[in-house]
Structure 1
Amino acid sequence: MKLFFLFLLSFVLLLPEPGQAQRKPAAKKAALATAAVGITPAGSGVKRPRNLTDEQLLDLVQRQTFRYFWDFGHPVSGMARERSNVSFDYGDEVVTTGGTGFGLMAIIVAAERGWITREQAAERTLKIVNFLWKADMYHGVFPHWLNGATGKTIRFSPKDDGGDLVETSFLFEGLICARQYYTRDTPAESALRNKILWMWEGVEWNWHQQGGQNVLYWHWSPNNGWSMNHQIHGWNECLVTYVMAASSPKYAIDKAVYDQGWATGNYFKNGKEFYKTKLPLGFDYGGPLFFSHYSFLGLDPRGLKDQYADYFAQNKAHTLINRAYCIDNPKHYKGYGADTWGLTASDSYKGYAAHSPTEDLGVISPTAALSAMPYAPEFSMQALKHFYNDLGDNIWGEYGFVDAFSEEHNWQAKSYLAIDQGPIVAMIENHRTGLLWKLFMSSPDVQRGLTKLGFESPHLKK
């Protein structure tokens, strides 16, 4: 979701109080909030098995969270719903393209672990692909939100009613994993491979250079053109957008677009130490933890390096700084500590906020620590056990952990969000088996794009 602008503006904008009518944020350029009516309230009586081993607990959390995409997927399209609750100004039909990409990865994990059959997984994936095949797109680029019944664009904001390049990159992160996974010679798997390829080849990434500039733009609309005027600079969640654009078979960008567009943002390089940990890239204290999650559901950060950073080192440093801040707890919030940490964008008692050490409202988002499992497994597991064993009566529900909670304010979200639930399933799996990393990095197109941009990786063929 377009959370980067939300994070930036959180420095200067006051989030609304809970009763104020606002629109859900997937993350764009204003501090938006949602009046939430949850379908599965915290503490809703969902039974929790006790005395689980670490492996059993990881199984349970992944499987329960996967249900958000399987049981709660849109009945017509199969796409991931934006969130589990309904805001005042959009209804039950809103599905999210980026969140669906994350959901496609969760479905692969479910098939591989036997929670559903491979045939069921392929059938649901083909349902989604067939829906996307007929849905609105703009130069091959999908909008942020679609109507899950009709495939028509639901505008995100008055001028954001066209192609969204970042959400499209998250969607294709999942679709490329699916194309690499479903390799059998069956009608369903053959059809979904072919249609994914045709859609992938049709994404005009270089159109979003707006006339050949050496930078990518986030949005284009047939009604409003380039008027959103949002260039995509780093460091944030959008690394995969530039990688995908460089990997395109037909509409690829050149390396200069990466170097002069992505790597030149005001908040790209850092190099300072926070809590005795050096942070190579990004905002002071790292910003929200989703920066180290979304691009890396598919991109394997282990050994991934270029002229700017070692990306495993970057993501580990970001994680450790985020945790150290929560242990330090300079605002003295109740509950913060070694067992309760993780600041990232999520719902809050004030609405939606891009929580980080510099925007700390006393709200912990379970996806932050759990999706950091590959970077700090011991610390993530420590948090997971506390969330489940000690706090689960209040924060465990039908689709796993609710979106966020605050012990300081005695508040628990009544919501689950696709972009928060998906990384939990995917990143825990990457920690356990590397499944999604292996799939995504095995794509010849992705390998070509990474090589073009100057990356090193154990996955790249010499």
Structure 2
Amino acid sequence: MLDDKELNRLQLTTLQYYLHEVNPANGLVRDKTDKTAPASIAAVGLALASLPVLVERGIISREFAPAIALRRLRFFRDAPHGPGPDATGYKGFYYHFLDMKSGRRVWNCELSTIDSAFLFAGMLTCAAYFDQETEEEDELRRLVDELFGKADWQWALNGGSAISHGWRPESGFIPHHWKGYDEALLLYILGLGSKTFPLPAESYAAYCSTYQWRKIYGREILHSGPLFTHQLSQLWIDLRGIRDKFMRDHNTDYFQNSRQATYLHREYAIQNPHGFVGYGEHCWGFTACDGPGWMTRKINGVDRQFYDYIARGAPDGPDDGTVAPWVVLASLPFAPEIVIPTINHMAQLNIGVDSHYGYKPSFNQTYEVADSPTGWWVTPYHFGVDQGPVILMIENYRTGLIWDIMRRSHYIVSGLKKAGFNGGWLDGLTQ
């Protein structure tokens, strides 16, 4: 049962990823448990954000925890930065994937604005938490200010009003921008809160301009299909009771909206319009995750299209029968009354509940695999970006730790206010 003892165990096993899948020399975190995989800067950010949990849960002494953060911060300070293709970052942002040893760009990947945002959020978590007047913690806060201050958010607009998805040295800016409700809410709050290259106020209006307010299964909701998009910004920002203009106009807030999204995913699984195996009241959660692979199979006379890693969503898909336990756990603060029974059910499935890093992050009961212990597909990997949301949202559900820490970040508070948020805890702050 998902009681306090089980939550302790889940956090500890999930945290093991950030202790083991890491290069101790530079602090880079592997993207997934494939020994050939590079580092993911988003995974580094989530690992940084998890440090206060490691301290508060007595896993690492606070005396030694700042050194773990400093190793990563010094790496990004000293890493090659410039417009050439063989670098770690440019204009204060960083490439999505980096070589685990050299820290240089791999796979000709993009300079990622959203993944840089997750990295910055992890840095800011450490800066707000490690607030003692010691030599190490003073250096930590200075380095975070320095690194965050280098991010040129105005450059990232590429002359427009909305932030670009990213940039490549070979071809320039990616021709897509962050507009419409998704995980980029955090991206804009950070950019607006910058002291050096702040986003103009109209950039947030551009982001909100394509919001979709819909009624689905009788629930009115600001829609975004994958469940992770309703969670990632709220790993760090406590959006309970504070509202921007859009939410004031609809008499709700982003936290309540994420609660509605959690219920929507469960209802979609109950209705199961495509007849996938296993879906139901206690088996749901559709998000960006690993899948069986790009192929079509005929199952019971029906041609089924399956996918590899893709952003699955509800109710509009894509959907191939793949469910993600991690994204259910990351909804714990929003709707514990339906998350806990679902996790209790998933614990009875053979999906690695007792594995080294906790639940395997995705499975598909429709896709049969003859030599699998379950008889169906379970991903062989854990992913660095899936571990953090489980750790942080369990802690926010239990104590509100990360939310409380980030209320002390003047960058976050400033960004929220510039985006037009007010009410609740935000009105009570003087910074």
TM-score, length of structure 2 as denominator length: 0.87
1:155 and 1:385 mapped to 2: Cα distance? 39
Q: Which residue number corresponds to residue 429 of structure 1?
A: 395
Q: Do the aligned residues in 1 keep the contact of 2:396 with 2:403 (CA within 8 Å)? A: yes
Q: Which residue number corresponds to residue 280 of structure 2?
A: 337
- CA separation of 1:258 and 1:356: change in aligned 2, threshold 3 A: same
- SS of structure 2 residue aligned to 1:142: strand
The AA in structure 2 aligned to 1:176 is L
| 1:101 alignment partner, one of 27, 45, 49 | 45
Q: Do the aligned residues in 2 keep the contact of 1:298 with 1:441 (CA within 8 Å)? A: no
| 1:184 alignment partner, one of 128, 132, 155 | 132
Q: Do the aligned residues in 2 keep the contact of 1:306 with 1:455 (CA within 8 Å)? A: yes
Q: Which residue number corresponds to residue 313 of structure 2?
A: 356
Q: CA deviation at 1:394?
A: 4.7
Q: Which residue number corresponds to residue 83 of structure 1?
A: 32
- SS of structure 1 residue aligned to 2:425: coil
- SS of structure 1 residue aligned to 2:290: strand
1:394 and 1:401 mapped to 2: Cα distance? 5
Q: Do the aligned residues in 1 keep the contact of 2:2 with 2:343 (CA within 8 Å)? A: no
- SS of structure 2 residue aligned to 1:154: coil
Q: Which residue number corresponds to residue 455 of structure 1?
A: 421
Q: What percent of counterpart residues are identical?
A: 29
2:345 and 2:65 mapped to 1: Cα distance? 32
Matched, 1:114 2:114: no
1:295 and 1:262 mapped to 2: Cα distance? 14
Q: Which residue number corresponds to residue 74 of structure 2?
A: 130
- CA separation of 1:76 and 1:120: change in aligned 2, threshold 3 A: same
1:374 and 1:360 mapped to 2: Cα distance? 25
1:53 and 1:170 mapped to 2: Cα distance? 28
Q: Do the aligned residues in 1 keep the contact of 2:351 with 2:360 (CA within 8 Å)? A: no
Matched, 1:401 2:359: yes
Q: Do the aligned residues in 2 keep the contact of 1:138 with 1:221 (CA within 8 Å)? A: no
2:136 and 2:241 mapped to 1: Cα distance? 35
1:156 and 1:171 mapped to 2: Cα distance? 20
Matched, 1:143 2:95: yes
Q: Do the aligned residues in 2 keep the contact of 1:297 with 1:436 (CA within 8 Å)? A: yes
- CA separation of 1:337 and 1:171: change in aligned 2, threshold 3 A: same
Higher relative contact order (CA 8 A, sep 6+): 1
| 2:411 alignment partner, one of 421, 437, 445 | 445
Q: CA deviation at 1:392?
A: 4.4
Cα deviation code 1:54-80 (max 9, x no counterpart): 001111111100111112222332222
Q: Do the aligned residues in 2 keep the contact of 1:395 with 1:412 (CA within 8 Å)? A: no
Matched, 1:217 2:164: yes
Report the RMSD for the aligned CA atoms in angstroms.
1.7
- SS of structure 2 residue aligned to 1:235: coil
Matched, 1:232 2:184: no
Deviates more, 1:145-154 or 1:231-240: 145-154
The AA in structure 1 aligned to 2:195 is P
Q: CA deviation at 1:53?
A: 6.2
1:322 and 1:119 mapped to 2: Cα distance? 42
1:256 and 1:96 mapped to 2: Cα distance? 31
Cα deviation code 1:362-409 (max 9, x no counterpart): 111011110000110111111222222x11465541101112112222
The AA in structure 2 aligned to 1:171 is L
Q: Do the aligned residues in 1 keep the contact of 2:152 with 2:197 (CA within 8 Å)? A: yes
1:394 and 1:407 mapped to 2: Cα distance? 15
- CA separation of 1:248 and 1:236: change in aligned 2, threshold 3 A: same
The AA in structure 2 aligned to 1:413 is T
Matched, 1:175 2:133: no
1:108 and 1:384 mapped to 2: Cα distance? 25
Q: Do the aligned residues in 2 keep the contact of 1:396 with 1:402 (CA within 8 Å)? A: no
1:122 and 1:336 mapped to 2: Cα distance? 44
2:108 and 2:268 mapped to 1: Cα distance? 33
| 2:335 alignment partner, one of 365, 376, 379 | 376
| 1:274 alignment partner, one of 216, 232, 243 | 216
1:107 and 1:335 mapped to 2: Cα distance? 36
1:177 and 1:458 mapped to 2: Cα distance? 21
Task: Provide structure 2 residue ranges, at least 5 long, that are not aligned to the other structure.
Answer: 80-87, 248-252, 294-307, 368-375
2:2 and 2:417 mapped to 1: Cα distance? 41
2:405 and 2:360 mapped to 1: Cα distance? 29
| 1:70 alignment partner, one of 16, 19, 24 | 19
Q: Which residue number corresponds to residue 301 of structure 2?
A: none
Cα deviation code 1:22-46 (max 9, x no counterpart): xxxxxxxxxxxxxxxxxxxxxxxxx
How many residue pairs are counted as aligned between the two chains?
391
Q: CA deviation at 1:412?
A: 0.8
Cα deviation code 1:241-266 (max 9, x no counterpart): 1110000011001111110x21123x
Q: Do the aligned residues in 1 keep the contact of 2:240 with 2:255 (CA within 8 Å)? A: yes
2:282 and 2:108 mapped to 1: Cα distance? 36
Q: Which residue number corresponds to residue 35 of structure 1?
A: none
- CA separation of 1:143 and 1:308: change in aligned 2, threshold 3 A: same
The AA in structure 1 aligned to 2:231 is H
TM-score, length of structure 1 as denominator length: 0.81
- CA separation of 1:376 and 1:225: change in aligned 2, threshold 3 A: same
Equivalent residues in 2 for 1:154-169, closer than 5 Å: 154-157=106-109, 160=110, 163-169=111-117
Q: Which residue number corresponds to residue 377 of structure 2?
A: 411
2:107 and 2:46 mapped to 1: Cα distance? 21
| 2:226 alignment partner, one of 274, 280, 288 | 288
